[in-house]
Amino acid sequence: MTTTALITGAAKRLGQALAMRLAKRGWDIALHYGQSRADADQTASQIRDLGRRCELVQADLDDASQVRQLVAQAAGRIGPLSLLINSASVFEPSEFLQTEEDLFDRHFAVNFRTPFFLARDFARQCESGMIVNFVDANHTKSAQRYFAYMLSKKVLAEFTTMAAKTLAPGIRVNGICPGPILPPPGGTAQTLQNVADKVPMHRPGTIAEITAGLDYLLDNQYVTGQLLYIDGGQHIV
């Protein structure tokens, strides 16, 4: 049986790693990108070198009309989908009193509205499969400096469990909650280490540990409605 995945934000960083891991497992990939066409082309080339199909699908996830077409576009190019990974995310600092409507709307559009409607469209086109939402280990807290971002991830976490109940038994829905894995855009290795020093494991996580979490969710067919924390214990401190 052909296994085909749509991954948002898969041109670089964590999304790219997820796409490569799936390709190595024998999956064909519908690789979504926003503006990073050169990175998307490079990732697609690496996937094809593994002998897997890879089709690029471009969409601005801040634009509801483009999101509305994304699942159909991906399925039209690579065939029926059996996995949706909502990896793309917006992460911008803003405390509550400094949060303006455009920043709020951008975070909720990309971090929640897009996963919500992609999941809906995915469920409409397939009877079985899996959805994985990338949340954030810190969604259990109240990070004041990233107020809109964290609020959008809290809602995404709640949606994950609600959707799992609604779509069972045919479609499993789970979340992965990464901790400090990569430096934020513009950050350095020291930036990452400063965060990692505060978690119980006292080190950053690795991309391999995130992809191992994806492997677990793929392989264990009895897991749904779970939020898998891969964070060195960050969510408990």
pLDDT, tens digit, 9 for 90 and up, residues 159-187: 999 999 999 999 999 999 999 999 987 78
Distance CA 187, CA 183 (A): 5
pLDDT, tens digit, 9 for 90 and up, residues 192-227: 999 999 999 999 999 999 999 999 999 999 999 999
> DSSP assignment, residue 188?
-
* Side chain identity, residue 102: D
Residue 80 and residue 121 in contact, taking contact as beta carbons nearer than 8 Å: no
| Per-residue model confidence (pLDDT) at position 185 | 79
Please give the mean pLDDT across all residues of the chain: 96
Residue 80 and residue 125 in contact, taking contact as beta carbons nearer than 8 Å: yes
| Per-residue model confidence (pLDDT) at position 2 | 63
Percentage of residues in the chain having pLDDT higher than 70: 99
Residue ranges and CATH numbers for the domains of the chain are 4-230 (3.40.50.720)
Q: Pick from 158, 161, 178: which is nearest to 235 by CA?
A: 178
pLDDT, tens digit, 9 for 90 and up, residues 107-126: 999 999 999 999 999 999 99
> With b meaning 16 or more CB within 10 Å and e meaning fewer, what string describes 132-157?
bbbbbbbbbeeeeebbbbbbbbbbbb
Residue 9 and residue 29 in contact, taking contact as beta carbons nearer than 8 Å: no
Residues written for the chain: 237
Q: CA 35, 227, 209 angle in degrees (round to 5)?
A: 65
| Per-residue model confidence (pLDDT) at position 143 | 81
pLDDT, tens digit, 9 for 90 and up, residues 16-59: 999 999 999 999 999 999 999 999 999 999 999 999 999 999 99
- Mark residue 196 as left, alpha or beta (left: phi above 0; alpha: psi -120 to 50; beta: remaining): alpha
Q: Pick from 162, 186, 164, 185: which is nearest to 174 by CA?
A: 164
Q: CA 85, 175, 10 angle in degrees (round to 5)?
A: 25
Asked if residue 1 has pLDDT above 80, the reply is: no
| Per-residue model confidence (pLDDT) at position 6 | 98
